[in-house]
């Protein structure tokens, strides 16, 4: 048996598959088109939901900053206070 190897690429390891090289750009274009179409069809719904999304995001933040987290719940003695 006579096995011929091409110089510069033993066993074809240096070559990138053409389908793998085109995957990410095609996916980015597809997602861009899908997001554009979703925005155009559901723009009123998305804008109408923004105040509720803002409230849902701010509630946990207010809990953390206004109550100081969960470290002091249940301990309301005067001896714990620093004056």
Q: What percent of the chain shows pLDDT beyond 70?
A: 61
The whole model's pTM is what? 0.43
Residue 42 vs residues 10, 37, 47: alpha-carbon distances, Å:
53, 8, 9
State the pLDDT at residue 43: 94
Q: How far apart are CA 27 and CA 20, in angstroms?
A: 11
User: What's the pLDDT tens digit per position in 28-41?
Assistant: 999 999 999 999 99
3-state secondary structure of 68: coil
Q: How far apart are CA 24 and CA 20, in angstroms?
A: 8
């Amino acid at each position: 048996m006579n096995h011929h190897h091409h110089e510069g690429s033993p066993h074809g390891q240096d070559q990138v598959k053409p389908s793998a090289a085109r995957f990410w750009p095609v996916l980015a274009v597809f997602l861009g088109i899908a997001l554009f179409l979703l925005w155009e069809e559901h723009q009123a719904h998305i804008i109408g939901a923004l105040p509720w999304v803002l409230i849902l995001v701010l509630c946990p933040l207010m809990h953390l900053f206004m109550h100081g987290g969960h470290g002091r719940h249940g301990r309301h003695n005067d001896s714990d206070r620093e004056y």
